[in-house]
Amino acid sequence: MTNRHSRQGFLGTDSELKIQSATVAVIGLCGGGSHVSQQLAHIGVGNILLVDPDHADDTNINRMVGLTQHEAAEESPKAQVIGEKLRLINPAANIVAIPKQWQEVPDALKTCAAIFGCVDSISAREQLERFSRRYGIPYIDVGMDVHGADGRYFVTGQVIASLPHRPCMRCMGFITDENLAAEEARYGAAGGRAQVVWPNGVLASTAVGIFMALHTPWNTDLDPTLYTEYDGNRNVLAPSNRLQYLRGAKCQHFVGTECVGDIF
C-alpha cells in the first residue's frame, strides 16, 4: 500500500515525523478555522486542538466548511462538528475538541508548535498574540471582513505570522489603540449571511503554507512573509507594504516578556 503522505517527500528529511508529532491549536472554527483544521488533518498533523465555545446555526452554512444542514439545525457545538470531520479524514490523529474559551484551557496550548487564530475581534487577536509570545509559540492570524454600504462591498483580509523575536502585530500597525476601539463597530457590515467561504479558503491555505514553511525543512532558503494582505474584489494576495518599514527592526512591545513561560 502506498503511504498516504508519500507525495509530501519534497518537504525534507524527517518532515513526516515532525508533522505527525506536532501539536497545533486552531482557535475559532467557523470561517477560516474550519478550512485550516481540515487542511492540517489532510497534511497529517498528529495532534490538533479545536477550540471554540460556540454552537453552529444556519448563518454558518455559507462559511463553515463541513457543516451540514442537520448539524446547523441541531445547533451542534462547532468544535464537535469539525472534530468529527477531522477524525474521518485522519483516524490516526489525536483530535481534541474543546467547546470552551481558549482562556479556560491555557495548559493545553502552552506546548503547541503553532497556534492559528481565526477570531473576529482585534482584542481577541491581541490576547492570543500575547499568550503565544509568552510561551515562544508561532502565532498565525487569519482574518477577513466584508465592509461597505449601499450595494458596494469590499472583501479584504490578512494572514499575519507573529513569530518569537520578530515584529509583532503592533509593530506591523495591524493592532493599534484606535482600531481596538473602532473594530467592533465595523465588523460584519454585510450581515451574518455573507457568502465568504472562498476568501476564507484562500487565506487559510496561505496560513497553512506558513506553518509548513516553519515546521519542515523544505523552504529554509526563504523566510515566510510575515504580513500578507488580500484584496478579495481583485483576487489578489500580496505582501503588505508595511513590511518595508520593518526590515531589521526589533520588536519593542514584548521586550522582557517574550518567551518567559509560566511565571509559576
79-119: pLDDT as tens digits? 999 999 999 999 999 999 999 999 999 999 999 999 999 99
What are 199-214's pLDDT values in tens digits?
A: 999 999 999 999 998 8
Q: Which residues of 237-249 are buried (b: 16+ CB within 10 A; e: fewer)?
A: beebeebeebeee
Q: What is the largest CA-CA distance in the chain?
A: 57
Does this model's pTM top 0.85?
Answer: yes
> Residue 85: which CATH number?
3.40.50.720
Burial class (CB in 10 A: 0-12, 13-18, 19+), 31: buried
CA distance 241 to 176: 17
Asked if the structure places residue 261 within a domain, the reply is: no
Q: State how many domains the chain has.
A: 1
pLDDT digits (tens, 9 = 90+) for 169-199: 999 999 998 888 776 555 554 454 455 889 9
**What is the C-alpha to C-alpha distance for residues 68 and 56, in angstroms, rounded to an integer?**
10
> How far apart (Å, rounded) are the C-alpha atoms in residues 76 and 60?
11
What is the helix (H) or strand (E) element at residue 236, kind and residue range? strand 236-239
Residue 223 is classified by DSSP as: P
**Is 257 inside a domain boundary?**
no
Cβ burial 199-230 (10 Å sphere, 16+ → b, else e): bbbbbbbbbbbbbbbbbbeeeeeeebbbbbbb
Classify residue 3: in a domain, yes or no: no
Helix (H, G, I), strand (E, B) or coil at 147: strand
User: Does 260 reside within a domain?
Assistant: no
User: 5 in a domain, yes or no?
Assistant: no
| Within a domain: 256 | no
Report which of residues 54 and 148 the model is more confident about: 54
Q: Is position 158 within any domain?
A: yes
Instruction: For residue 79, give its domain range.
Output: 10-245
Residue 236 in domain:
yes
Q: Which of 45-54, 191-200, 236-245 has the lowest mean pLDDT?
A: 191-200
